[in-house]
Amino acid sequence: MTKQELLQHANTDEITRIITKQWSGLNDEENREYCLEEIYASLAETAPLPESFHLSSNDEKAQYEIDIDMLLITIEWDDIGNLIFDDGDNEAHFWSQVGDKNEKRNRKIYRSLFP
């Protein structure tokens, strides 16, 4: 599986919810890392299982989980931005949850996450 394949199965509504819930604190590096960890957990939940996963050995299942974890740590805010802002509808929904995108504070947070 590739990072792109993993992101294709993402629940963008859930990721948007995670970000907007924590938006006001995302100007802080520690809060951004915490938020990214929540996004990773969401992505891990939506990762597709390989065919016959239920027939795999415990070692094969563990290796699959390790492979997913290794992919997750390669995902950065740019990838998340590309995912949730892939079209106008997603962007409009995002800003309806966050607030005015032209507000100085919102622009600053946005630029720190999605340069």
Query: b/e string for 34-44 if b means 16 or more Cβ within 10 A?
Result: ebbebbbebbe
User: What are the tens digits of pLDDT across the range 52-88?
Assistant: 888 888 998 889 999 999 999 999 999 999 988 876 6
Q: By C-alpha distance, which of 95, 108, 88 is closest to 25?
A: 108
Residues in contact with 40: Cβ distance below 8 Å, sequence separation at least 6, in sequence order: 72, 73, 75
Would you say the pTM of this structure is higher than 0.85? yes
Domain range for 76 = 3-113
The domain tally of the chain equals: 1
Residue 111 has pLDDT above 70, yes or no: yes
Report which residue type is found at 76.
E
User: What are the tens digits of pLDDT across the range 6-58?
Assistant: 999 999 999 999 999 999 999 999 999 999 999 999 999 999 988 888 888 89
Confirm if 70 and 76 have CB atoms less than 8 A apart. Answer: no
pLDDT of the residue at 43: 96
